[in-house]
Amino acid sequence: MENLALIESFSEFKDDKLIDRVTLMSILEDVFRNALKKKFGDDDNFDIIINPDKGDLEIWRNRIVVADADVENENQEISLSDAQKIEPDFEVGEDVSEEVKLFDLGRRSILALRQNLIAKIQEHDNTSIYKQFKDLEGEIYSAEVHHIRHRAVILLDDEGNELILPKDKQIPSDFFRKGENVRGIIENVELKGNKPNIVMSRTAPAFLEKLFEQEIPEVFDGLITIKNVVRIPGEKAKVAVDSYDDRIDPVGACVGMKGSRIHGIVRELGNENIDVINYTNNLQLYITRALSPARVTTVKIDEETKRVEVILKPEEVSKAIGRGGHNIRLAGRLTGYEIDVFREGVEEDVELSEFSDEIEAWIIQEFSKVGLDTAKSILEQDVNDLVKRTDLEEETIEDVLRILKEEFED
């Protein structure tokens, strides 16, 4: 019973760690064999017998009886006189099996055994957690805010597992309180040392896709397919959907009556503006739909350069570009084409890059960020609006306008 009592003291935390008895016994055997190697130099001649039902463990050392003067290896051999102390009728050449009590290993060895056992069980737990969450990559998961740091929010799930929601994986409008429940997607799981590092994201396009699966039954059932998702987190998103059943309107089913179905998703994403569009293999039509809510007059596609020229009525240009250039940027990412916008009735325009000898590259880049890539697209904007939409000073913008106006003066 000594071994049983000691094992129970070792495994008193078993229930907290949710480790089954058989696994615990296997870990125990491994730990004890390491201890035997350290004490006796070898464990090959030891039998470790485990009874997982009773939680008992026995250790037996097997040695060969030799003459008293012939003992060379005390671990493998036992002198005849010592063997006969165990049982008087032992003779030279016979095998002796002797039970080793754990207390015989000494107090220091027992303390080391306990520490080693705890480390092995922790390693087992970490491996199990890693495998569990690795299988959940790409899936929505909920956890509670445990600690708020400058660069990340630390979350704990119902089983006490720790997840990390980095600052750059949070929607800009996100504001968390301790104890609050947070939803996100398990984006990445890896082992750092022996500890699983579980990263959650609320900015990944896949999070929006999974929210559609959760909130819209036709998407969950496969009647509606999500072809592509692009996002500027917290600002705007575009989702292309398709259905192989002509009786189903994929856009109407996703949005719902008066936006009833998509409202919960929008709220979850911090009032992110979501455009749901019908996917089509007709590239010209797809680009036209991607630029919604703007109405496009003409589309010219260059397959080689992956660029598209779209011509719109003057009042539609600002809609196509969108606030901060979000609409045109997302339309380009959704379709895979660089989109250039032109006003209807303007016969000639000049790429802004053509003015690189007069306008610095970083200034051209600032205009490009908000979808203004040509001279005319900038000239038709108000100076105050350009100041708000870009990070440029008013004086810089006026210099650019002067240079561009000179290009079009007769």
Give per-residue pLDDT as tens, 279-310.
Answer: 999 999 999 999 999 999 889 999 889 999 99
Interior angle at CA 326, CA 220 and CA 353, nearest 5:
135
The encoded tokens of residue 380 equal 């038709």
Least confident span in 95-109, 150-164, 354-368, 395-409: 95-109
Directed axis angle between helix 326-335 and helix 283-290, to 10°?
Answer: 150
Q: What is the distance, to the nearest Å, from the Cα of residue 8 to the centroid of all Cα atoms in its chain?
A: 39
pLDDT per residue over 62-107, tens digit each?
998 888 888 888 888 888 888 888 888 888 888 888 887 776 676 6
Mean pLDDT of the chain: 85
- What secondary structure letter does DSSP report for 136? T
In this prediction, residue 7 carries a pLDDT of: 54
pLDDT digits (tens, 9 = 90+) for 380-400: 888 888 888 888 899 999 999
Instruction: Say what the pLDDT of residue 349 is.
Output: 72
Give residue-wise pLDDT tens across range 156-197: 999 889 999 999 999 999 999 999 999 999 999 998 877 899
Tell me what pLDDT residue 262 has.
94
Q: What is the pLDDT of residue 53?
A: 58
pLDDT at 338: 92
pLDDT at site 13: 46
**Residue 375: its pLDDT value, please?**
85
pLDDT for position 19? 63
Q: For position 357, what pLDDT does the model report? A: 80
Task: Give the type of residue at 405.
Answer: K
Domains of the chain by range and CATH? Answer: 2-125 (3.30.1480), 136-201 (2.40.50.140), 204-279 (3.30.300.20)
Which pTM was predicted?
Answer: 0.64
Query: Quick check: 140 pLDDT over 90?
Result: yes
The first and second tokens of residue 227, run together, are 């072809």
Element (H, E) at 115: helix 107-134
Give Cα separations from 203 to 151, 223, 234, 295 (angstroms).
15, 26, 8, 29
Q: Computed from CA positions of residues 319, 321, 323, 327, in that sequence, does the dihedral angle turn out positive or negative?
A: positive
Helix (H, G, I), strand (E, B) or coil at 56: strand
Whose tokens are 């949005």? That residue is 255
- Say whether pLDDT at 409 is over 70: no
User: What pLDDT does residue 285 have?
Assistant: 94
Q: How far is CA 299 from CA 86, 227, 286, 376, in A?
A: 98, 22, 11, 18
| Residue 343: alpha-carbon gap to chain centroid | 43
pLDDT at 347 over 70: no
Instruction: Please state, in angstroms and rounded to a whole number, the distance separating the CA atoms of residues 192 and 59.
Output: 36
Q: Which residue has the higher pLDDT, 6 or 279?
A: 279
Instruction: Tokens for 92, please give them.
Output: 């030279």
Highest mean pLDDT among 102-111, 228-237, 401-410: 228-237
